[in-house]
Amino acid sequence: MFCNKCGAEVDNTAKFCNKCGATIEGGTTDTASIVFRREGSLAAALVPAKVFVDNNLVGSLGVGEEMTIATTVGKHRVDFNIMGGNGGGEVEITSEHPNIKVLFKIAMGMITAKPKIISIQNLD
């Protein structure tokens, strides 16, 4: 099966495209969501941080902002990029807890800023 939006090949049971995040008609996988929130810090406060899920850019966040993206149950790679600094990790969404919140902040290093996950919370 292929995504109607970007043309990427997707699993027959997929509800969302792993490449662009578009809804797949007829998919049967459990739906879930991730809320991303950028916690305040002085480090790079005026520069938005890019947010990636499974290597796909889903948006950008300023200090104190949050956004919600639709995804699927399972393991997902989340990454953040700001001024050349990268950070992130893997999150797992289960059927018991299909909605999570990922809080992250920017830590200033000697040469670059480094985004880091500070907590992952179940919202159910």
Task: Give the phi and the psi of residue 116 in degrees, each rounded to 5.
Answer: -150, 140
Q: For residue 103, is it within any domain?
A: yes
pTM of the model: 0.73
The number of distinct structural domains making up the chain is: 1
What is the rounded distance in angstroms from the CA atom of residue 122 to the CA atom of residue 124? 6
pLDDT for 43: 57
**What CATH number is given to the structural domain containing 95?**
2.60.40.2890
pLDDT tens for residues 92-115?
999 899 999 999 998 876 677 789
Residue 70 structural domain: 31-122
With respect to residue 9, please indicate whether it lies within any of the assigned structural domains: no
Beta-carbon contacts of residue 63 (< 8 Å; ≥ 6 apart): 38, 39, 40, 41, 45
6 falls within a domain: no
